[in-house]
Structure 1
Amino acid sequence: MALVSLCIPTFNGARFIEESLQSALAQSFRDMEILVVDDGSSDDTLRRVQSLATLDPRIRVVRNEKNLGLVGNWNRCLEIAHGEWIKFLFQDDLLHPQCVEKLLAEARRQSAPFLACDRNFLFAESTTEELRAIYARNRATINAFLGPGRGVSADEFAQRIPRRLNNNYVGEPTSTLIHRSVFERIGRFNPEFTQLCDLEYWTRAASHYGIAFVPEALTTFRVHSSATSAINRNAHSFRSTGLEGLILVDAFLEQDAHARLRERWAALGVLGAIQNERWDRANEIFEFVRKNRASPAQRESISSEYAAFLSRHPSCRISRIEHLRWLSITLPLRYKFRLGQALNPILPKPLKRGSFRPL
């Protein structure tokens, strides 16, 4: 049995799959299977992968009987992988030739079951400067969060993330290496998520094990308009820009898988603040749905999705009275902020400390 399963979940990835798979074949570490799981592609993906599989017996190709979706296919990879370690490589991304070797070496050095590394980006020409800047800031945030001490402990991770619960402090799955025992103990990826599925799992894993970090760019994440994350943002904007963030906070506060995280937050004295965060987000979603001015078809779709969400997450249900109380708190603060922004250019600048003179 191979020590590492290098898992490549695919769906209509013919454009980049050969380049991605070649980067897997070029790894300096050899004791691994390369598992490609196709989720019913309708393009040339399967033929291209099978053609490469004839060149190297380590490549194992599996085609799902039916389309399982993004997270379903990730979990299918975990279900049929043979290796002691799981290394994801997405169909658009690339690995540095020593990626697996260096991650394994760091895992052994730190006795760490969960690791990540720095990554580069490969932007399509059409990528806006704004989006490039977002990825650059996120990379800097991750390196500052994990880099100085080559990772963080479970306690440190739980202590830092309440500042920005929606922020991914680990990176994309292609940049991780995870021991099989992690999945056996805390479960697989949560299929309820479409956009924050990796973030939820990194939080679950790091709050149990901490995370080790290799501050070297050993992977390349490709950014382009047909990437799954971009499609999800455009096609499921209500879910990806609002609702999924509330699902995330509710999972942290309610699911058994995050009991360890809640224990750490309670010890730190921040659990109440996280509960308030859920209340705020639930009210914001309620207000959005109530005042939604989209087309009738879109309104019906959003209302239906919101109702289905509430049936699964009753702790996020907001009464009219609760919402009025929330509005009474937040609206004055919003108007005060807007008024301050409007008056800022004409108000006198504050005096420097020590410069006050009585009349």
Structure 2
Amino acid sequence: MAELVSVITPVYQGQGHVRRAVDSLLRQTHQEWECLLVSDDGTDYLGWLRQQGVSDPRLRQLFSTRTGSGPNLTRNLALRAAHGQWIAPLDADDCYDPQRLERLLALAGETGLAADNARVVDDSNDLVLHLAFSHDRQGRLELDDFFHTHVPLLFVFHRQLIQRGWDDLPRGADTLFNLRALEQAGYARYCTEPLHDYRVHRASLCHSADAGERFAEAYALTLQRLQEDGLGFGSPQMRQQVMALIHFKQQLNQLFSQRCAQGYAGTFQNFVDDLPPAELQQLRQ
């Protein structure tokens, strides 16, 4: 019997895109899934989907206790209610390729953890901008690989690897959640081919006028928490490696903000792509 996958999808003002995410689940070749839609704005999304002609018993709905509580608290609500042996996050504005769950489950059997490359898509025109990784990672992901992408990665997790939920942090809780599972698993199996879309929007946090300042505050808070309580990482060595990763991202964000103040008009990804390898390496030290 196929193993059940619990797909976790927080939804806030999602009428413009949640059907696309749900439709991508309905097309999955692995049929044993449930989707926990967590309404974070009080909307009855199951009712709304039925009005659009979409109804399936595998779709479940939960409501956050406070409107706008954010993706981390709503993911934790879904995690507590999930029935599956496997957990798979899916943001309401993203979507899976039809074989994603089937292929990642086959890989995840080795360590309990698997991920695919991400296809970064401009939501305004459906153009593919770039991939999370431009080079093959030799079939596996380790912590060092997180230094080489600035795109949030989507994993499929076995429940046994999840010792703690998503932290109530303003930025980066998904990365910390992934890294804690990675510490438990040792490494993640990796599919070089992108099997999902990560959609980017002009109205997102990354494009706001105060994005650099908000990211700087989030990185500083994360480093403080790592020093104070470890954020659930088991070994001092892993904690230090994670702190080095967050510090690296903090340094990149600071440099990007400085260049923007000097007139740079490109995106963060363009900025990173244009940095000389020697300068990137210096930021890691």
Normalised TM-score (structure 1): 0.59
Conserved? CA contact 1:11–1:45, under 8 Å? no
Q: Please provide the CA RMSD for this pair.
A: 3.5
Q: 2:194 aligned to 217, 240, 243, which one?
A: 217
Partner amino acid, structure 2, of 1:56: D
CA gap 1:56/1:160 in 2 versus in 1, 3 angstroms: closer
Normalised TM-score (structure 2): 0.72
Q: How far apart are residue 198 of structure 1 and its match?
A: 1.5
CA gap 1:188/1:253 in 2 versus in 1, 3 angstroms: same
Deviations 1:148-186 (A, max 9, x none): 321145xxx2x666xx5xx756x435x321111222x2x
Deviations 1:191-218 (A, max 9, x none): 0x22212222223222332222111111
List aligned pairs for 1:138-217, cutoff 5 A: 139-140=132-133, 144=135, 147-153=136-142, 157=143, 164=147, 171-172=151-152, 175-183=154-162, 185=163, 187-191=164-168, 193-209=169-185, 210-217=187-194
List aligned pairs for 1:43-62, cutoff 5 A: 45=45, 47-51=47-51, 55-62=55-62
Q: How far apart are residue 259 of structure 1 and its match?
A: 3.8
SS in 2 for 1:190: coil
SS in 1 for 2:57: coil
Partner amino acid, structure 2, of 1:61: Q
Distance 1:160 1:28 in 2: 29
Q: How far apart are residue 54 of structure 1 and its match?
A: 6.3
Distance 1:63 1:125 in 2: 29
Give the helix-richer structure, 1 or 2.
1
Residue in 1 aligned with 2:123? 124
Conserved? CA contact 2:75–2:166, under 8 Å? yes
Share of identical aligned residues, percent? 20
Distance 1:28 1:151 in 2: 23
Deviations 1:313-352 (A, max 9, x none): xxxxxxxxxxxxxxxxxxxxxxxxxxxxxxxxxxxxxxxx
**Is 1:114–2:113 an aligned residue pair?**
yes
Partner amino acid, structure 1, of 2:233: H
CA gap 1:211/1:252 in 2 versus in 1, 3 angstroms: farther
CA gap 1:121/1:29 in 2 versus in 1, 3 angstroms: same
List aligned pairs for 1:20-99, cutoff 5 A: 20-41=21-42, 45=45, 47-51=47-51, 55-67=55-67, 68-99=69-100
SS in 2 for 1:219: strand
**What is the total number of aligned residue pairs between the two structures?**
247
Distance 1:3 1:182 in 2: 16
Distance 1:234 1:78 in 2: 33
CA gap 1:126/1:194 in 2 versus in 1, 3 angstroms: farther
Deviations 1:86-109 (A, max 9, x none): 11111111110000000001112x
CA gap 1:45/1:245 in 2 versus in 1, 3 angstroms: same
| Runs of at least 5 residues in structure 1 that lack an aligned partner in the other structure | 285-359
| Runs of at least 5 residues in structure 2 that lack an aligned partner in the other structure | 255-285
CA gap 1:243/1:55 in 2 versus in 1, 3 angstroms: closer
SS in 2 for 1:255: helix
